[in-house]
Structure 1
Amino acid sequence: MEIRWVEAFLAVAEELHFGRAAARLRMAQSPLSQTIRRLERELGTTLFDRSTRSVALTPAGHAFLPHAYRVFEELELGRQATRASDGVVYGTVSIGFSGALNHHTLSPLTRAVRQRFPGVTLALTGRVMTREGVEQVERGSLDIAFVGLPIDPSPVRTRLVASEPLGVVLPVDHPLAGEPDIDLADLADEGFVTTPEAGGSALQQAAMRACVHAGFRPRVVQEVTDAFLILTLVSAGVGIALMATSIAEITPTGAVFVPLRGESTCMHHGIAWLADNPSPVLSAVLDVAHEVLPSPG
C-alpha cells in the first residue's frame, strides 16, 4: 500500500466526487479512479459506492477512514519529531476554552508560546465547556482544553492552574448594586442567568453548589454558553449571575460585580490533555504552560 493511495482515498472521501477530488490532487480523474481501484484490490473490499450521480462511502470505507487519517497524523508527528531533534519546534496545537472565564489563563499561555516557538500554530476554539472539552481531548479533536475542576473520571490528565471565589454580577440599577458585599441568601428570589447544565459547565455546577449551600436552588431564567453574553444579559436586566472574581475586570457598562459575604465557593480552573499523546509540539506547549500557569499553592 502506498501513501499516495491513502491520500487519494481521503480526497474522494471528503469530496464525495471524483472530479473535485482529482482537481484537488492536481491529477486527471482517470488515474485517480485507477488509484482507488488499486487500493480496493489491496484491501480486498470496495470503499466507495459509485453511480453516475453520486459517490458514497461503503461500510468498509467508513471503517477505513479514521485509520487513513491516522496515517497522515503519524507522518506529521514524524516530521515534528525530526524537527524537534534539531531543536526546532513547529506544528499545530488545538486548544479549547470557554471564553471570558479564561481571559486570565489563556492569554499568558498563547503569548508565551508565540514568543518562544514562532513555528507553532495555536488553533483556538471558543465556547467549549468542561464536559465537551474533556470529550474532545479524549477523541483527539483537541490537544488541550481549559476546564473546570474536578472532572468526571476520564483518561485525560488535568492540572489546576487557578482558583478564584465566585461573586455576583448585578444590573447597575439593582437595589444591592452599591453594596460592598452581599449575602447570597438575599438573592434567593432573583432570576439567574447561567451556562447550560446539559453542557457540563463547571461554572454552572459551582454556582449551583454555592446557592444550595446558601439554602436555596436558583431560579434560572436564561441559559447561554457564552460568558460574555451572560454579562450582556445581566446588564440588560434579564437576571443576575454568579461568576468568577476575575470577571469584575471586564464587566460591561450596565452591570456591576459584587463579592459574596461569608464562606466562598471557588471556581477551579485547569487544563486537560491526553498523557499518551506523542506530539512533540504538544509537549513543548505543556512545558510552557507549567511555567506561565503554575499550579497555585
Structure 2
Amino acid sequence: MRLDALTLKQMRALLAVVETGSLTLAAESLHQTPPAIHSQIKNLESAAGQSLLQRAADGSGFHATQAGQEMVIAAQRIEAVLSHAARQIAAISQGRSGHVVLGTVSTAKYFAPRLVRLLQDRIPDVEITLRVANRSETIAALDRGDYDLAIMGRPPRNALARAVPLGPHPHGVVLPPDHPLAGQDGYDTAALLRETFLSREDGSGTRILMQRFIERLAEGHAPRMVVMPSNETIKQAVLAGLGIAFLSLHTVHDEVQAGRLVLLRGMGLPVMRHWYMIPGTPDATSISMATKRCAEEIEALGGVYLPKLTG
C-alpha cells in the first residue's frame, strides 16, 4: 500500500460514495463531477492495491468492500482529527484557550446542560460543545475521535481502563400514581411480570439493564414489551396508562418530584449503577490542555449536577 499516494480528496470521495451509495450523489455533495469522483476512487484503489467499493447485489448502489471499510474508518478518523484542529484554531483566534466536545448518551441530557453551565462558570476561557446521541452512536463517535470527552452509564470494554466514575446512576420501575402496584413497600413478582414493559430500543444501555433485572426475577420469562424511541415517549406512555417502564431515575426526576409518576419499591430496587467520564483518546499525552482542564473540573464537581431523587 502506497501511503504517499493517498490524498484527502480521495478519502473524502470514498466517504461520500459510501454514505450516499452513488457516484452522482457523492459528486453533488462534494460539488464535483461524477467522472472526477470515479477518478479519485480509482486512484485510491490503486494506492491501496485492491478494490474498495463494489456494487450491491441488487444493483442499487455502491458499498464498501472489507478493505474499503477499513479505509472508511481511517478516513473518518482523519476527518475527526482535522475537525478537532479546526475547532482549536477557531477557539484560539477568539481569544480562548481551547475547545472541548463533550458527548453524552441520551439519558444524560437531563443533567448535561447543567453540567455545561457549571463548566462555563469554572473555565470560561474554554469553549464547550455538547452533543447528545444514543449509546451505539456515542461509542461510534468515541471510536472515530469525534468527542474529546464522553459521559455514559456503561463504558465500552475498550474504554474501561480509562473510565472515571462520576456519581451514582439509579434505575428503577416507574408507574402512574393510580397503578395497583403503586404505594406498596414490596411487589408481587408474578403480578409485575404480567405487566407490559415500555422499553428503549435494542442495544440501549437502559434496555440491557432492564433485561437483566427481569431475568433475575424469573429466568427465561419474557413479559410483553413495547419498544419506543425515546425516554420522553416512554414517560408519556406510562402517564397514559399504556404500561410500566424501567428507566434511569435521572430521566424521571421532575415527574416523580411532582407526583405524576411513582417508583416501584421492593426487592432489588433501585438498581444502582454509575455515570462515567471517558476521554476521547486512550493516549493521555495527546489530550489537549483544554480537555484536561475540563476533565479535572468535572471530577472536582463531585456529581453535584446529578438530579437528587427524594420521592
Give the TM bin, normalised by the shorter chain: 0.5 to 0.7
Of 108, 113, 126, the residue aligned with 1:107 is 113
What pairs with 1:56-71 in structure 2 (closer than 5 Å)?
A: 56=62, 59=65, 60-71=67-78
SS at match of 1:269: strand
Q: Where do 5+ consecutive residues of structure 2 fail to align?
A: 307-311
SS at match of 2:187: helix
Query: What is the Cα-based RMSD across aligned positions, in Å?
Result: 4.6
CA 1:235 to 1:284, structure 2 compared with 1: closer, same or farther past 3 Å? same
CA 1:169 to 1:82, structure 2 compared with 1: closer, same or farther past 3 Å? closer
What pairs with 1:68-79 in structure 2 (closer than 5 Å)?
A: 68-79=75-86
TM value normalised by structure 1: 0.66
Kindly indicate whether the alpha-carbon contact (under 8 Å) linking 1:95 and 1:142 is maintained by their aligned counterparts in 2.
Answer: no
Kindly indicate whether the alpha-carbon contact (under 8 Å) linking 1:93 and 1:282 is maintained by their aligned counterparts in 2.
Answer: no
Residue identity opposite 2:31 in structure 1: R
User: Where does residue 123 of structure 1 map in the other structure?
Assistant: 131
Kindly indicate whether the alpha-carbon contact (under 8 Å) linking 1:49 and 1:56 is maintained by their aligned counterparts in 2.
Answer: yes
SS at match of 1:220: coil
**Partners in 2 of 1:219 and 1:4 — Cα distance?**
51
Of 188, 192, 203, the residue aligned with 1:199 is 203
User: Where does residue 225 of structure 2 map in the other structure?
Assistant: 222
Per-residue CA deviations over 1:214-265 (Å, capped at 9, x if unaligned) read x778973434453333333332334444555553522499943257379864
SS at match of 2:130: strand
Q: Return the offset for 1:270.
A: 0.6
**Partners in 1 of 2:51 and 2:226 — Cα distance?**
47
CA 1:221 to 1:195, structure 2 compared with 1: closer, same or farther past 3 Å? same
User: Where does residue 162 of structure 1 map in the other structure?
Assistant: 167
SS at match of 2:261: strand
User: Where does residue 255 of structure 2 map in the other structure?
Assistant: 250
Q: Return the offset for 1:125.
A: 1.5
Kindly indicate whether the alpha-carbon contact (under 8 Å) linking 1:185 and 1:211 is maintained by their aligned counterparts in 2.
Answer: no
Residue identity opposite 1:220 in structure 2: P
**Partners in 2 of 1:227 and 1:287 — Cα distance?**
30
Kindly indicate whether the alpha-carbon contact (under 8 Å) linking 1:97 and 1:145 is maintained by their aligned counterparts in 2.
Answer: no
CA 1:286 to 1:17, structure 2 compared with 1: closer, same or farther past 3 Å? same
Q: Return the offset for 1:183.
A: 1.8
TM value normalised by structure 2: 0.63
**Partners in 2 of 1:152 and 1:7 — Cα distance?**
28
More helix by share: 2
Of 221, 232, 237, the residue aligned with 1:233 is 237
User: Where does residue 309 of structure 2 map in the other structure?
Assistant: none
SS at match of 1:122: strand
User: Where does residue 90 of structure 1 map in the other structure?
Assistant: 99
Residue identity opposite 2:74 in structure 1: H
SS at match of 1:271: strand
Residue identity opposite 1:193 in structure 2: F
User: Where does residue 183 of structure 1 map in the other structure?
Assistant: 185
CA 1:254 to 1:10, structure 2 compared with 1: closer, same or farther past 3 Å? same
How many residues are paired up? 281
Per-residue CA deviations over 1:20-58 (Å, capped at 9, x if unaligned) read 4344333455555444444444444454569xx986356
CA 1:259 to 1:142, structure 2 compared with 1: closer, same or farther past 3 Å? farther
What pairs with 1:267-278 in structure 2 (closer than 5 Å)?
A: 267-273=272-278, 274-276=280-282, 278=286
Kindly indicate whether the alpha-carbon contact (under 8 Å) linking 1:167 and 1:259 is maintained by their aligned counterparts in 2.
Answer: yes
Q: Return the offset for 1:108.
A: 1.8
Residue identity opposite 2:133 in structure 1: T
User: Where does residue 265 of structure 2 map in the other structure?
Assistant: 260
Q: Where do 5+ consecutive residues of structure 1 fail to align?
A: none
Per-residue CA deviations over 1:149-181 (Å, capped at 9, x if unaligned) read 6x685433333333266665333323564x4xx
